[in-house]
């Protein structure tokens, strides 16, 4: 099924499933979307799952690397990125990693709600709001295979809550790249060149690039780099989670 058809299929069902869920909630209290074993106390999660959320403590103020604050980490000092800061309130560890993997690889689009609500609650009151959200794009083939882009879905929900419009066409990914986890840091840096292209001028003073997970920051650097062609433009990166250097918590 083509990506657009799949999305339309999902959106077409959403009104019906929302009404059905509301009706069902009156009969049976909703359960945790993660463990299915305890009542949902908010954001679709039970009290236990909420208590185990991996908070990103003391992050680098620029790249959000956990436990590398409060000053910018060595890499950010020696090789400053084109973005002003990455905002990622969670570490990519269970249960956040579980939610993101199920969203992306099992197409559980209902998990966008808890992920975005948790993000909004954790950081929205504390960060400067940009004029536009730019989701990290996927290449056409990957989008066709998955059927949706998690970054776009997350950006749209955050944008609706904060009244910020989302531009899904400003930046395009023109080349497919191998999975980041299969590459060394040097290889990632080499292949990022020319992967993303900005196809319209950026006139906003502040833009947020939105992604689900920031891994090596090479993608964030590449997308922000193609947007920052004007000195008057600042880019921040909004993500749900940040991986640790050694990915111990996968």
Residues found near Zn ion in the complex (CB under 5 A): 32, 34-35, 46, 49, 60, 62-63, 73, 76
Q: Smallest gap, in angstroms, from Cβ of residue 104 to Zn ion?
A: 20
**Identity of the residue, 38 or 164, whose beta carbon is nearer to Zn ion in the bound complex:** 38
Measured between alpha carbons, how far is 177 from 86 in angstroms, rounded to an integer?
Answer: 22
Q: Smallest gap, in angstroms, from Cβ of residue 69 to Zn ion?
A: 9
| 83 class by beta-carbon count within 10 Å (0-12 exposed, 13-18 middle, 19+ buried) | buried
**Identity of the residue, 99 or 154, whose beta carbon is nearer to Zn ion in the bound complex:** 99
**Identity of the residue, 57 or 169, whose beta carbon is nearer to Zn ion in the bound complex:** 57
Q: Smallest gap, in angstroms, from Cβ of residue 66 to Zn ion?
A: 10
Peptide bond into 247 cis (omega under 30): no
The residue whose two tokens read 């949706």 is: 148
**Identity of the residue, 59 or 137, whose beta carbon is nearer to Zn ion in the bound complex:** 59
User: Per residue in 168-184, is it b (16+ CB within 10 Å) or e — as a string?
Assistant: eebbbbeeebeeeeebe
Q: Smallest gap, in angstroms, from Cβ of residue 56 to Zn ion?
A: 12
Length of the chain: 250
């Amino acid at each position: 099924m083509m990506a657009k058809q799949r999305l339309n299929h999902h959106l077409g069902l959403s009104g019906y499933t929302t009404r059905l869920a509301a009706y069902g909630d009156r009969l049976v209290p909703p359960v945790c979307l993660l463990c299915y074993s305890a009542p949902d106390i908010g954001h679709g999660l039970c009290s236990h799952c909420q208590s185990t959320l991996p908070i990103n403590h003391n992050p680098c103020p620029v790249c959000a690397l956990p436990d590398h604050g409060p000053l910018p980490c060595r890499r950010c000092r020696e090789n400053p990125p084109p973005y002003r800061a990455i905002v990622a309130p969670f570490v990519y560890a269970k249960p956040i990693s579980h939610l993101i993997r199920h969203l992306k690889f099992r197409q559980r689009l209902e998990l966008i709600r808890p992920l975005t609500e948790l993000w909004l609650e954790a950081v929205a009151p504390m960060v400067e709001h940009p004029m536009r959200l730019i989701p990290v794009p996927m290449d056409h083939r990957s989008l066709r295979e998955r059927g949706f882009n998690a970054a776009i879905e997350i950006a749209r929900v955050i944008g609706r809550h904060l009244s910020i419009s989302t531009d899904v066409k400003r930046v395009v990914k023109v080349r497919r790249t191998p999975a980041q986890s299969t590459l060394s840091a040097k290889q990632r840096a080499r292949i990022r060149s020319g992967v993303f292209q900005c196809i319209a001028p950026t006139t906003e003073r502040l833009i947020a690039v939105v992604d689900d997970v920031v891994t090596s920051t090479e993608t964030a650097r590449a997308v922000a780099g193609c947007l920052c062609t004007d000195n008057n433009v600042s880019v921040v990166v909004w993500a749900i989670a940040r991986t640790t250097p050694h990915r111990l918590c996968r």
